Chains A and B, each alone.
Chain A
Amino acid sequence: MKLHRIGSAAAVLTVAALALTACGSDSPTASAGTADSTGGSAAAVSGTLTGSGASSQKSAMEAWKAGFEAATPGTMVQYSPDGSGAGRKAFLAGGAQFAGSDAYLKDEEIESSKEICGPEGAFNVPAYVSPIAVAFNLPGVETLNLDAATIAKIFKLEITKWNDPAIAATNEGVSLPDTAITVVHRNDESGTTENFVDYLAAAAKDVWTYDVSGDWPKDLASENAKGTSGVVATTTATEGAITYADFSAVGKLGTVNVKVGDDFTEISAEAAAKGVEAATPVEGRGALDMSLDLKRDTTESGSYPIILVSYHVFCSSYKDQATVDLVKSFGEYVLSEAGQKEAAASAGNAPLSAKMSEAAIKSIDSIKVAS
Chain B
Amino acid sequence: MTTNALRRNGSKGQAGDKIFSGAALGAGILILATLLAVAIFLFIQALPTFTADPTLVSGGEGFLAYIFPIVIGTVIAAAIALLIATPVGIAVALFISHYAPRRLAAGLGYVIDLLAAIPSVIYGAWGYLVLAPALVPSFQWLSENLGFIPLFEGPASQTGKTILTAGIVLAVMVLPIITSLSREIFLQTPKLHEEAALALGATRWEMITMSVLPFARPGIISAVMLGLGRALGETMAVALVLSTGGLIPSLIKSGNQTIAAEIALNFPEAFGLRLAELIAAGLVLFVITLVVNLIARAIIARHKEFSGAN
Contact = CB atoms under 8 A, between A and B. Distances in A.
A118 interface: no
Given A11-B229, A184-B159, A223-B254, A16 B181 contact: no
Contacts of B180: 3
Nearest to A23: B41
B120 interface: no
Contacts of A73: none
Interface string B270-304: 11100000000000000000000100000000000
Interface stretch (B2-10, B29-37, B88-96): B29-37
Nearest to B45: A23
A240 B222 contact: no
B222 to A, nearest CB: 5
B128 A225 contact: yes
B244 A221 contact: yes
B73 interface: no
Interface in A100-133: none
B266 A16 contact: no
A354 interface: no
B269 A214 contact: yes
Nearest to A7: B226
B34 A226 contact: no
A85 B41 contact: no
A142 B74 CA distance: 40
Contact of B181 (A4, A12, A237): A4
Nearest to A188: B265
Given A89-B271, A190-B269, A238 B244 contact: no
B59 interface: yes
A226 B310 contact: no
A174 interface: no
B219 A1 contact: yes
Interface string A238-265: 1011000000000000000000000000
A221 B37 CA distance: 37
A182 interface: yes
Nearest to B177: A7
B240 A230 contact: yes
A25 B265 CA distance: 17
Nearest to B219: A1
B126 to A, nearest CB: 12
A84 interface: yes
B61 to A, nearest CB: 12
Contacts of B244: 187, 221, 224
Given A4-B181, A224-B243, A238-B133, A16 B37 contact: yes
B217 interface: no
A85 B276 CA distance: 14
Nearest to B271: A85
Contact of B158 (A83, A188, A190, A238): A238
Contacts of B159: 182, 184, 223, 234, 237-238, 241
Given A12-B31, A19-B41, A238-B133, A222 B272 contact: no
Given A12-B35, A16-B38, A223 B270 contact: no
A16 B254 contact: no
Interface string A75-95: 000000111111001000000
Contacts of B27: 9
Interface in B150-192: 157-159, 161, 180-181, 184
B108 interface: no
A233 B128 contact: yes
B246 interface: yes
Contacts of B240: 225-226, 230
B226 A82 contact: no
Nearest to A54: B269
A355 interface: no
A83 B243 contact: no
Nearest to B132: A237
A13 interface: yes
A184 B245 CA distance: 12
A189 B41 contact: no
Given A16-B34, A234-B161, A8 B226 contact: yes
A180 interface: yes
Nearest to B27: A9
Contact of B268 (A89, A184, A188): A188
A187 B265 contact: yes
A182 B158 contact: yes
A7 B178 CA distance: 13
A201 B27 CA distance: 58
A307 to B, nearest CB: 19
Contacts of B246: 218, 221
B239 interface: yes
B38 A15 contact: yes
A16 B35 contact: yes
Given A1-B219, A3-B184, A223-B159, A85 B243 contact: no
Q: What are the nearest 9 A-B pairs in CB distance?
A: A221-B245, A16-B34, A85-B271, A83-B269, A188-B265, A182-B158, A189-B269, A187-B244, A223-B243
17 contacts: A1-B310, A3-B181, A8-B226, A12-B31, A12-B34, A12-B38, A23-B41, A86-B270, A182-B159, A188-B265, A188-B268, A189-B268, A191-B269, A218-B59, A223-B158, A225-B128, A240-B158
Interface of A: 1, 3-4, 7-9, 11-13, 15-16, 19, 23, 55, 81-86, 89, 180, 182, 184, 187-191, 214-215, 218, 221-226, 230, 233-234, 237-238, 240-241
Given A19-B38, A222-B243, 20 more contacts: A1-B309, A4-B223, A12-B35, A12-B38, A16-B34, A89-B272, A187-B244, A188-B268, A188-B269, A189-B266, A215-B266, A221-B246, A221-B255, A222-B245, A223-B159, A223-B254, A234-B159, A237-B132, A237-B133, A238-B158
